[in-house]
Chains A and B, each alone.
Chain A
């Protein structure tokens, strides 16, 4: 019970707020195809949080050697700063795709430990996708970040680096 709890509660309040806002809009426009929720606002909030946060975290860091080095920093330092733990598994195909796996993602551990509530789980990882994208953007890496959840509380973040061609 402390700063972590208040962060968790604030996060879930933000999620609720965005989702509720969405349903109001879709009622007005009579859109009923609410299969995929529009969570772009959440992602956007995360992006700015990450963009600013990385500035503070890296102020005493040496330069990163390459992209992989940057990803390692994300998995260790950034993750411990936000979630008090490190990413459990980092994989890459060396072509700009990275998969970060967290076996007990903080926002999901209290929800379920299986398939229950799986349809609502994307709401609780979108903010973090934005944070990752924001961090990378400020470090000079353009990317697309998506999340994949098969069984909670484990979550995989896919980072696809956009290379100028």
Chain B
């Protein structure tokens, strides 16, 4: 099992943070373009899922899966979006996303008065804590190991 990369978007669709661990194929475009494309797709899927759902969609869009990877989507009530891509065997990714939000984002971004909530995150301690949480998770087993 492995974790490929993470995107964090704010409610206006700006990319706050991006990091990759085991990403083998790159898109070839700039990070900004890639993030816009990603956000646009997520936005479309979200509204598509909500419109087409034959019953009341409680949580809406949760994840999609291709033959090679799975993209997990977690949106908070405040409109913050966490996107994590993993391989297809990953379990309990929702819990991990919830932890990233509670234990890393809230603690080291929201409670850090020096970080503006609408700009990309530059804080070193945030990066370190996020990396540590991902690496200790059972989903993360690096290719090299």
A interface residue numbers (CB < 8 A to B): 5, 8-9, 12-13, 15-16, 110-114, 116-117, 120, 124
Contact = CB atoms under 8 A, between A and B. Distances in A.
Q: Interface SS of chain A: helix, strand, loop or mixed?
A: helix
Interface residues of B, number: 10
Interface in B114-129: 114, 123-125, 128
B111 interface: yes
A86 B135 CA distance: 32
Contacts of A8: 111
A113 B127 CA distance: 11
A16 B124 contact: no
27 contacts: A5-B111, A9-B111, A12-B113, A13-B113, A15-B113, A16-B113, A110-B107, A110-B108, A110-B111, A110-B112, A110-B125, A111-B113, A111-B114, A111-B123, A111-B125, A112-B123, A112-B124, A112-B125, A113-B124, A113-B125, A113-B128, A114-B124, A114-B125, A116-B123, A117-B123, A120-B114, A124-B113
A44 B108 CA distance: 28
Instruction: Across the A-B interface, give the 8 residue pairs with the lowest CB-CB distance, nearest first.
Output: A12-B113, A110-B111, A116-B124, A110-B112, A113-B125, A112-B125, A117-B114, A111-B112
Interface in B65-101: none
A110 B107 CA distance: 7
Contacts of B114: 111, 117, 120
A154 to B, nearest CB: 14
Contacts of A110: 107-108, 111-112, 125
B49 to A, nearest CB: 31
Nearest to A15: B113
Nearest to B124: A116
The CB with the most chain B CB atoms within 10 A, among A111, A113, A114, is that of: A111
Contacts of B128: 113
A9 B111 CA distance: 7
A116 B113 CA distance: 14
